[in-house]
Structure 1
């Protein structure tokens, strides 16, 4: 081979080398779908955090009942205690708390009667009597029965009615109306008080005109 031919061949090799090198690199590149592992997707949360970032468990009914007791919302407290006792009938702590709370409610009613606050006492006795059928699950440990509640409620009703008539005779229409309205909350079938309340409201309206 002459020098010129060798020179031409050398030039051709130099010109072809970049393309060959580029093809070699392309052939060695790993496809993401085959040779390279993609990072796993983040696991989905099984529970959503609360606003402050912490997971919150539901508050037990017995704990909610204690809060209602402290707030003086006795009907709600009894409803929650009854729910807690039904869902866990073998839980002695719930049963004890339920019993203690019922006795406490009755004690509040007796204190109100001693202070001649017959409206408050009547409302509480009314709640206790309405819920008494649920107290049979308290193993008969209560210090009172339905007859005791009914007797005290009846006394409250009489005293509220009497206070209303006394206020009416003294010209205290606002006081009489308030007492009779409270009485009808616990004795809605009392027709005598309904009539007295209707007359008192009419007279109160006429005085304002």
Structure 2
């Protein structure tokens, strides 16, 4: 639109319309992609909608209006294609429009914006895949294995954490049975259930019925 880059009020109002449409388009995309069975891509579309909503708040503030004026993103569109009539004039021009304005390029934009603390965030498609892999790995872990105290001492201490600096919460007699539920990162300590209490015992004081590496790391 004319004067959009020379008049602050026009810039704010026009950009508000565009950003509201962008938010709505990405919300519509999230809805449709979720419907098609790709929740990770739907969540990524929602991530972009969040960024567009930040732009919307900023341009409203530039125009002197309340930045956070909506309780939820406005669902203008059901499908992304519904956004075409709203956004088409911005791309094709017409009466009351000027341009087209040339894209300055990534380097020119970086020269103006600089670093400014901008944070690169991974899309949910990447994060979600990693989360799914972690969940699958966790599911393959053994929930617990049987163990027997094998210390030469008459009893061993069960501590509140994996180390001798942690407080003693109970003791277990040598030869006593425990359930081993988890281990620390280097498998030097194991979490056990004994005497109705959960705590940690040094791994070299227990004979386990199977390899403790199958246990989850806590």
Q: Which TM-score bucket, shorter chain as reference?
A: under 0.3
User: Who wins on radius of gyration, i.e. which is larger?
Assistant: 1
User: What TM-score comes out, normalization by structure 2 length?
Assistant: 0.22
Higher helix share: 1
TM-score by length of 1: 0.23
Structure richer in strand, relative to its length: 2
